[in-house]
Amino acid sequence: MNWQGGLTRLEFSVTVAVIGAIATVFLAKVLEAQELGERAKVEATVRNVQAGLRWAMAEALMRGEEDRVAELPGSNPVRWLERPPAGYLGEFDGVSAAASSGAWYFDRRRAELAYRPRLDRHLAIEDGGGELRWRIAPGKGAGQPALRGGASPVVVTTTPHRWF
């Protein structure tokens, strides 16, 4: 019997097809994991903004400057963070043309913190825009007492969305 070494064309084709299918599934899962990571990073940034808001309120109250709390809604919450989020571009009047995917910026005209997601395959934004937005609004937050003359400011999303 004369055996020839190596794979036949059929065996090679099947091997390539199987490896291609495995690679496709693997890459899809890697992209999904990266998008989950991006969502977690955005949620952590919003939690940091909420903590910064509480810190700014507490500082104003401890100094007896309750009137300063009324100025917090509409202001740029990045000022209260120890350092801006990665990809923060600064303040702009309106939508920033410079904002690429993965960028944060503060829209002074709308008084909103905006983020342009890098990966949005599993992201559905109700208004169909390509940005997630939050603002500091007057309101009574959960577990926060109302202040004299108004309610405690809270972080609210202005772009209802579902991510995963």
For 52-74, write each residue's pLDDT tens digit.
Answer: 999 999 999 999 998 899 899 99
pLDDT > 70? residue 32 = yes
Of the candidates 78, 106, 79, the residue with the CA atom closest to the CA atom of residue 94: 106
**Average pLDDT over the chain, rounded to whole?**
90
Q: What is the DSSP letter of 93?
A: S
Please indicate, yes or no, if residue 3 is contained in any of the structural domains: no
Please indicate, yes or no, if residue 2 is contained in any of the structural domains: no
Please indicate, yes or no, if residue 77 is contained in any of the structural domains: yes
Q: Which residues, other chains included, contact 48 with Cβ-Cβ below 8 Å and sequence gap of 6+?
A: 81, 85
Structural domain of residue 108, as residue ranges? 9-163
**Residue 63: both structure tokens together:** 């100094």
Q: Which residues, other chains included, contact 3 with Cβ-Cβ below 8 Å and sequence gap of 6+?
A: none
Please indicate, yes or no, if residue 86 is contained in any of the structural domains: yes
The per-residue pLDDT for 1 is: 55
What is the pTM assigned to this prediction? 0.84
